[in-house]
Amino acid sequence: MLKIENLNKTFYPGTPEEHRIFKDFSLEIEANVCTTILGPNGCGKSTLFNLISGSIESDSGSINLNGNEINKLPEEKRASYIGKVNQDPSKGVSPSLNILENMSIALKKGEKFTFKKLIKNNNVNMIVEKLKELDLGLEDKLTTQVKFLSGGQRQSLSLLMSTIKRPDLLLLDEHTAALDPKTSKLIMDKTVDLINREKITTLMITHNLRHAIQYSKRIIMLNKGEIVLDVQSEDITEDELTKFYNERILESLKLVS
């Protein structure tokens, strides 16, 4: 379970550019299911993920993952517990390495290794089986450099790499946003298959309200660093969610501008 308590973050404190993103922000996320974070541009979604993964430091507050106070740990240590897939298909993979090498590196997450040993010690059969589960034919391209894969294939690989050592938490930051609608749906289906099969606690950022309802158990909407909606997806329709978004969030943005 992920428990965030009284998280505070201000960018450029004490300067004319001072920008407070979170003030005493608290949130508890249920284990083993997918929770979606929605909200308009700039409301703090990615900052929240960066604070959780440790790529930026909080000013104060607590982030507890399965009993571990991870807020004190450096990013590389947190990476042993947290898997992350970003919007950009070239992030999260090493484009000039092949699929087998990328997957072998993912298996070594959190460990020290040399490249020579990595290849010798890799577990090819297990990797092939995992790739087969994706059903994209990647198991036949083990020695293909990842830069030659399509965006959808790379995102699938990135997803598999982030989860091959079961993470305590998976962060999906608009991981299908750069894909065409058909591929986006395909990757979302594969994501949810994997999350459900492995029972991975997942936080997903999306701007796609339909995906939020269809693929997650709980929906949290942020606006200006605050939770403005927190609902089980079975308790809201796509129309109601769209109406809420348009009325409450777009209206509040108009008032500001």
Q: Which residues bind ligand ATP (CB under 6 A)?
A: 11, 19, 21, 39, 41-47, 56
Residue 232 CA to residue 244 CA, distance in Å, equals 15
The residue (of 50 and 104) whose beta carbon lies closer to ligand ATP is 50
The residue (of 1 and 177) whose beta carbon lies closer to ligand ATP is 177
The residue (of 7 and 146) whose beta carbon lies closer to ligand ATP is 7
Smallest distance, ligand ATP to C-beta of residue 37, A? 8
Strand partners for 85:
172
The residue (of 56 and 231) whose beta carbon lies closer to ligand ATP is 56
The residue (of 22 and 215) whose beta carbon lies closer to ligand ATP is 22
Strand partners for 203:
35, 171
Smallest distance, ligand ATP to C-beta of residue 131, A? 30
Smallest distance, ligand ATP to C-beta of residue 249, A? 11
Structure tokens at 46: 């990615």
84: left (phi over 0), alpha (psi -120 to 50) or beta: beta
Smallest distance, ligand ATP to C-beta of residue 248, A? 16
Element (H, E) at 25: strand 19-29
Smallest distance, ligand ATP to C-beta of residue 195, A? 21
User: Measuring CA to CA, which residue among 36, 25, 8, 26 is closest to residue 170?
Assistant: 36
Residue 210 CA to residue 242 CA, distance in Å, equals 9
